[in-house]
Amino acid sequence: MKRLNTLAVGAGATLLSLAAQAQSTSNVNIYGIADAFVQTARSQGSLSRLQSGGLSGSRLGFRGTEDLGSGLAAIYTLEAGINVDDGSSGQGGVLFGRQAFVGLKSDYGDLTLGRQYSSIYLATSDYSAFSNAAHGPSTTVIGGFAGGYEPVRGASGTATPPAAGATGNGGPARVNNSVRYESPTFYGVRAGALYGFGEVAGATGDQRLVDLFVRYQGGPVQAIASQVNDKTTGINAADVATTTVATAIALWDGHVYAGFMNVNDKRPANLDGRGYWLGGDYRFARHLVRAQYLVNDPRSGSNNETRAFGIGYQYDFSRRTSFYGSVTRFNNQSNAGGGLGRWNAAVPTGLTASGDNDITEFVAGLRHTF
């Protein structure tokens, strides 16, 4: 009996040791952002509302790694978009609509599979003073080309567009059914590629997306260049190539941001477009000021440009909680957005009119990260 007890104690100690060892080589991080803002817009009509995700998209995420030995690790991210204003799910109601992938990380680079950011998302988010969120002169203004194609706003996780021109596999900002590889860093340079499977039986080239990109970080300079080829069929048929170049340069306690995007519609309609932005921010103590100028320029037709300029202010109560505000003017030519103008979101019916489609936006919001 004494021997059995000894064996039981030994077995229990061994199991605890193995559990502790497993726990020490893997981790799970739960994180999130709660961001809500009051938005007032004035044009032919006026609009006041509470919105979610002004400074950063609201989300709840799970991120983890497991050390597999010999420099190899398993990685995963499951990230759900949340609309804080009404508690609903973002990205068309998909549970993990922001990101959902699993992969391997090693000295030879990262290989991941799932729903993932394309280089368009990274370029328009990390290299813009107003990111690609839904307030101010953000990069979400760029788009509406190729019969409504939205390179930055993209589509929901179900490929049902919040704006027209969504691709069949959810892209182009986030891509469903995708395989992504990014190399290790060589002298500040990382290169990568993403392929989104169209998954169309008998026509595997339909609804597919190919993304090639290179990133650089050295001293105060960061930069990205990418080419995304997006081919879809069906109701929202498109065959589009999007080229993006952007940079962020650190200067003293601030940054200068600049970017250019060219959308080449390869179909006979040839509904090309381009957008570019120039902005900056400056921090002093808990205060951050930002400004940005942005142009959205459809190349087909005439009198359809949108020019936006905005200034913003952010006060950090702590490392996790910030107040922010902005004032932005959107100058829309007479045919911009089909004659009703463009904005950093879909323009609600009644806000603008064909004879008056300029928009002035005021924002005040609060963001908390955890």
Q: For position 129, which CATH number holds?
A: 2.40.160.10
Q: For residue 293, what are the contacts with CB-CB under 8 A and spacing of at least 6?
A: 137, 277, 278, 279, 307, 308, 309
- Cα separation of 117 and 99, whole Å? 7
**Residue 128's domain spans which residues?**
28-369
Return the HEC string of 63-111: EEEEEEECCEEEEEEEEEEEECCCCEECHHHCCCCCEEEEEEEECCEEE
11 in any annotated domain: no
Express each pLDDT in 175-190 by its tens digit. Answer: 989 999 999 999 999 9
Q: Count the domains in the chain.
A: 1
15 in any annotated domain: no
pLDDT band at 160 (very low <50, low <70, confident <90, very high): very low
351 in any annotated domain: yes
CB neighbour burial string for 142-179, b if at least 16 within 10 angstroms, e if fewer: bbbbbbbbbbbbbbbbebebebbbbbbbbbbbbbbbbb
Express each pLDDT in 113-144 by its tens digit. Answer: 999 999 999 999 999 999 999 999 999 999 99
20 in any annotated domain: no
Give me the phi and psi of 246, to 5 degrees please. Answer: -150, 155
37 in any annotated domain: yes
pTM for the structure as a whole: 0.88
CB 339 within 8 A of CB 35: no
- Please report the pLDDT score of residue 161 as a whole number: 38
299 in any annotated domain: yes
pLDDT above 80: residue 67: yes
